[in-house]
């Protein structure tokens, strides 16, 4: 972070009867002092000491560029590396599933808990035909990777899971069959060995028709609202106190007026600092959509980011805003990472960073 500062130098050490702002008084006093023999003796004594200190300061030039000819040489004694502290494996004995999402506890690493959802997302995977296919997801403690502390038992395997930032004892998850499940860890019954059933779940008929790609808690007065996206092209808003049906819905299209091609949502980003009504959606078609529910009544609130040369050539599995400068965001897909900014208009060229 850059910061502008200033410093004011004030001349001091003058007698009370001499005003340093008056040049005539200063010159008169200097002539008087320079004629004094004690002043001349003091200057002859102090000058050599000052010169010696100045030469010491100039011995090492802190601004000198060393090793200019060897700029490409790596002077590090050891190559950089990362050390694994713990490995959290799927406890299932039937088969190994993929970790579809990882979400830290709202208190972060200070709490040491993370919620991990497990599911098989491959279309027509042979493992889906297994009648003993496990559906549980887990909450882990980073200090104990041998056994999860909480087991979440949804009606269908979870494809995404997220803590409530306002109430860390509640979570919401999206399932493989398109339903939404709400969990309250405070209502865990005794004798369940850490297994928590959903407090509420949506019905299949009123939910997504494809697996839920991502879900976020949104800013609201009650703290019970969330939003989900799926590859079925729907973006649904929910109230976790009443999951019989969504409270609002939106079709993801390339036309701000609600027409055009329907896009399947593959990732979602929501940050209250960027705006409580603003959303970013990555799609299966590689196009980025920006939504503002404040303008939903006028133009459907959809802005399309460069649907031509700047878009990805495949699905966008991840999208995230810059935590400091929220108008910039990063998308990942088709072996590339691309940086975008909201200042660019529709179909303008974006900044691309190839990996």
| Domain assignments of the chain as residue spans, ordered by start | 86-220, 252-355
pLDDT for res 211: 93
**Between residues 14 and 318, which one has the greater pLDDT?**
318
Strand pairing class (98-104; 113-119): antiparallel
Closest CA to 152 of 126, 114, 106: 114
pLDDT in tens, 177-229: 999 999 999 887 654 567 899 999 999 999 999 999 999 999 988 889 999 99
pLDDT for res 354: 41
CATH 2.130.10.10 given to domain 252-355: yes
Q: Please report the DSSP string for 187-216 in residue order.
A: GPPTTSTTEE--SEE--GGGS-SS-EEEEE
How far apart, in whole angstroms, are the C-alpha atoms of residue 238 and residue 277?
A: 15
pLDDT for res 347: 36
Domains 86-220 and 252-355 share a fold: yes
**Between residues 37 and 354, which one has the greater pLDDT?**
37
> Percentage of residues in the chain with pLDDT exceeding 90?
43
How far apart, in whole angstroms, are the C-alpha atoms of residue 198 and residue 179?
A: 12
What pTM does this model have?
0.72
Q: Please report the DSSP string for 91-138 in residue order.
A: --SS---EEEEEEE-TTGGGTTEEEEEEE--STT-GGGG-TT----EE
pLDDT in tens, 14-65: 888 888 778 888 888 888 888 887 888 888 888 888 888 877 767 666 666 6
Residues 86-220, CATH architecture: 7 Propeller (2.130)
What six digits make up the tokens of 263? 């896009």
**Between residues 11 and 196, which one has the greater pLDDT?**
196
pLDDT for res 346: 43
Please give the mean pLDDT across all residues of the chain: 84
Average pLDDT over residues 100-107: 92
Average pLDDT over residues 249-275: 85
Given a cut of 70, is residue 6 above it in pLDDT?
yes
How far apart, in whole angstroms, are the C-alpha atoms of residue 157 and residue 175?
A: 5
Average pLDDT over residues 294-314: 77
Given a cut of 90, is residue 237 above it in pLDDT?
yes
User: To 5 degrees, how large is the angle CA 271–CA 330–CA 113?
Assistant: 55
Q: How far apart are the first and last CA of the chain?
A: 27
Question: What are the two backbone dihedrals, phi and then psi, of residue 289, each rounded to the nearest 5 degrees?
Answer: -115, 135
Among the ranges given (61-70, 102-111, 162-171, 297-306), the one the predictor scored with the smallest mean pLDDT: 61-70
**Between residues 19 and 101, which one has the greater pLDDT?**
101
Cβ-based neighbours of 32, under 8 Å, separated by 6 or more: none
Q: Band the pLDDT of 352: cuts 50, 70, 90.
A: very low
Strand pairing class (180-184; 200-201): antiparallel
Count CA within 13 A, CB hemisphere, residue 218.
23
> Reduced to 3 states, what is the DSSP secondary structure of residue 33?
helix
């Amino acid at each position: 972070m850059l910061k502008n500062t200033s410093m004011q130098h004030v001349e001091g050490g003058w007698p009370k009867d001499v005003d340093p702002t008056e040049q005539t008084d200063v010159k008169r006093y200097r002539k008087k002092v320079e004629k004094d023999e004690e002043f001349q003796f003091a200057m002859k004594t102090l000058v050599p000491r000052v010169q010696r200190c100045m030469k010491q300061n100039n011995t090492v030039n802190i601004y000198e560029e060393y090793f200019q000819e060897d700029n490409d040489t790596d002077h590090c004694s050891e190559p950089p590396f990362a050390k694994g502290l713990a490995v959290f494996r799927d406890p299932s004995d039937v088969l190994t599933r993929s970790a579809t999402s990882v979400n830290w506890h709202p208190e972060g690493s200070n709490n040491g808990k993370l919620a991990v959802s497990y599911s098989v997302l491959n279309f027509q995977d042979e493992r889906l035909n297994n009648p003993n296919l496990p559906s549980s997801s887990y909450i882990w403690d980073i200090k104990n990777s041998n056994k999860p502390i909480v087991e979440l038992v949804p009606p269908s395997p979870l494809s995404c899971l997220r803590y409530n930032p306002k109430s860390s004892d509640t979570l919401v998850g999206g399932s493989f069959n398109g339903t939404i499940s709400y969990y309250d860890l405070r209502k865990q019954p005794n004798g369940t060995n850490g297994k928590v059933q959903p407090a509420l779940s949506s019905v299949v008929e009123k939910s997504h028709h494809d697996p839920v790609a991502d879900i976020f808690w949104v800013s609201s007065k009650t703290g019970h609202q969330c939003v989900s996206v799926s590859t079925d092209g729907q973006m649904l808003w929910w109230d976790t106190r009443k999951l019989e049906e969504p409270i609002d819905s939106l079709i993801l299209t390339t036309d701000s007026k609600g027409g055009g091609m329907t896009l399947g949502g593959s990732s979602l980003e929501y940050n209250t600092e960027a705006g409580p009504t603003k959303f970013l959606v990555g799609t299966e078609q590689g196009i980025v959509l920006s939504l503002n529910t404040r303008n939903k009544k006028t133009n459907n609130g959809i802005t399309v980011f460069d649907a031509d040369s700047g878009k990805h050539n495949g699905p966008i599995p991840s999208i995230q805003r810059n935590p400091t400068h929220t108008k910039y965001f990063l998308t990942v897909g088709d072996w590339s990472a691309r940086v975008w900014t909201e200042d660019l208009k529709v179909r303008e060229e974006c900044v691309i960073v190839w990996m």
